[in-house]
Amino acid sequence: MKQNIGRNNKGPENENDYAVQTFGLTKKYGERIAVNAVNLSIKKGELFSLLGPNGAGKTTAIKMLSCLIKPTAGTAAIMGHDIKRNPAAVKQIINVSPQETAIAGHLSTWENLLLMGGVYGLSKEETKKRAQELIELVGLTGRAREQVRKFSGGMQRRLSIAMALISDPQVLFLDEPTLGLDPQARKALWKQIEKLKGQKTILLTTHYLEEADALADRVAIINEGKIVALGTPSELKKDIYGMQTMVIKAQNFTAEIIEDLKKAYPQTKKAENGIEIRAKELVFDDIVDYLRGQGVKIQWLSMKEPSLDDVFLSLTGKETADEVS
């Protein structure tokens, strides 16, 4: 599949503006290629989303970037530090909030954060200061002294992100941060993640297409280990799916009117109580003027923009977000 680079994405002017760069990053397991020669450049302060179906290579890529597994070929640089030549330096400036929430259920929010501060070698004073700031950031002030085993899944995910931030990393990897949460808890967590935009460089993998659409500055879609699309959500929706849809409801459409519209817009079809017109570019006023001139009494109309679901379907053949991971 052809890779799409957003038309308006000129990117930084020099390498010092990048937080993450990958150069032919590849991981093989026997004959299976999990990640296939991936080249990405993520700007400092950017929230970048990696999106793809099950087995596409998202988590494998995160593991290589966080120095948990070694690439088979290629490499990457985090804030200028090569993951193969200098993994110790990389680990000093990154942190990961993994899919599986790694918290101590018998401890409180406060105690979990103090424990993590000790793990990272922070002084007691610095740990307390950072813990207080992070508890407020993730909205757990009123539950700071409670055992976290009593928390909902969404609250535990918020704490997991706070724990990943205790070391004040320059680059934060969020691997499926809202996995398994109900829609309300998921959107509550989005608000916490949004607070980090511009402050940290964030690489987010997500199960939910609407999540990437709502949060990400840019999105890369990975399929069978390869990057098949790259750009802002709006660029991907416009350049790859490339369709606008107008839905018009009226009671007196005739077959002749529909056939006439098809001459200009071949993808015109009957819809419930009206018609649907799809094209790369719709001239709204011309369509309305034509219909009114034909005596059509328009009851309701709307312009429908494509979603990331549409983009994802066109690139991977997967129909819903429930089929991706």
Q: How many CA atoms lie within 13 A of 133 on its CB side?
A: 12
Instruction: Provide the CATH topology of domain 15-239.
Output: Rossmann fold (3.40.50)
pTM exceeds 0.85: no
d(CA 1, CA 229): 9
In CATH, what is the architecture of 243-305? 2-Layer Sandwich (3.30)
CATH 3.30.70.100 in the chain is located at: 243-305
* β-bridge partners, 197: 200
Residues in CB range of 62: below 8 A, 6 or more apart: 50, 96, 173, 175, 203, 205
Tokens, residue 48 = 């970048």
Other beta carbons within 10 angstroms of residue 150's beta carbon come to 11
Written as tens digits, the pLDDT of the chain (325 aa) is: 333 333 334 444 566 899 999 999 999 999 999 999 999 999 999 999 998 877 889 999 999 999 999 999 999 999 999 999 999 999 999 999 988 778 999 999 999 999 999 999 999 999 999 999 999 999 999 999 999 999 999 999 999 999 999 999 999 999 989 888 888 888 889 999 999 999 999 999 987 778 888 999 999 999 889 999 899 988 887 765 566 788 899 878 888 998 999 988 888 888 877 888 888 777 888 888 889 899 888 888 887 766 666 676 666 655 434 433 3
Question: Where, residue-wise, is CATH 3.40.50.300 in the chain?
Answer: 15-239
> For the chain, how are helix, strand and coil distributed in percent, rounded to 5?
40, 30, 35
Say what the pLDDT of residue 244 is. Answer: 75
